[in-house]
Amino acid sequence: MQYVYIVVIGLHVMAGVFWAGTTIAVGRDPDIRAERFFRPQMGAAVLVFLTGILLWYFFHQGVFSSMEKVLALGIVTALIAAGVQGALVGSASGQLAGADAAKESQLRAKMIRGERIAGGLLVITVLCMATARMF
Ligand code: HEM
């Protein structure tokens, strides 16, 4: 069983680091083509949620003390981050094909805004995840 925990936590942390890290990096540099990261980011987000649900089931089922409250805050900010990324970056990247230069720069500004909001929220998630057991 120990191996199952190791694999699930490993996948959870690696997918979470990829999702949060690329979101912050793409949000900071407008020259990075955000649309190339969108699908891998959403894939990582799905893996983070699936493994996170398993971790909750393994270690926190039926408990809601201060540690779980901190984890829950991180989960809520991750959920909002995924929604913002999907709504702003996802919709804009889908309209890039065939857009003229003016439209493209408008869409890119929207994508950067989405990545920055999501990145800020994911910073809160990472802090909550990393410190929850100290509460
Ligand atoms: C960017 C996103 C995320 C990152 C980087 C991340 C990272 C981490 C890390 C490093 C831990 C280990 C904490 C420790 O053992 O002290 C952890 C634990 C945990 N995470 Fe996440 N996480 C993320 C999102 C999520 C989401 C969305 C969920 C729920 C759906 C979740 C559920 C959990 C749970 C339940 C634990 C506790 C496991 C335990 O008790 O050992 N995480 N996370």
pLDDT tens digits along 91-114 = 999 999 989 999 999 999 999 999
Q: Is the CB of 55 under 6 A from ligand 1?
A: yes
What is the mean predicted confidence (pLDDT) over 8-20? Answer: 98
Question: d(Cα 41, Cα 52) in Å, to the nearest integer?
Answer: 16
Q: Is 49 in the pocket of ligand 1 (CB under 6 A)?
A: yes
Give the global pTM: 0.94
Report d(CA 17, CA 62) in Å as an integer. 27
Calculate how far, in angstroms, residue 129's C-alpha sits from the geometric centre of ligand 1: 5
**Is residue 1 over pLDDT 80?**
no
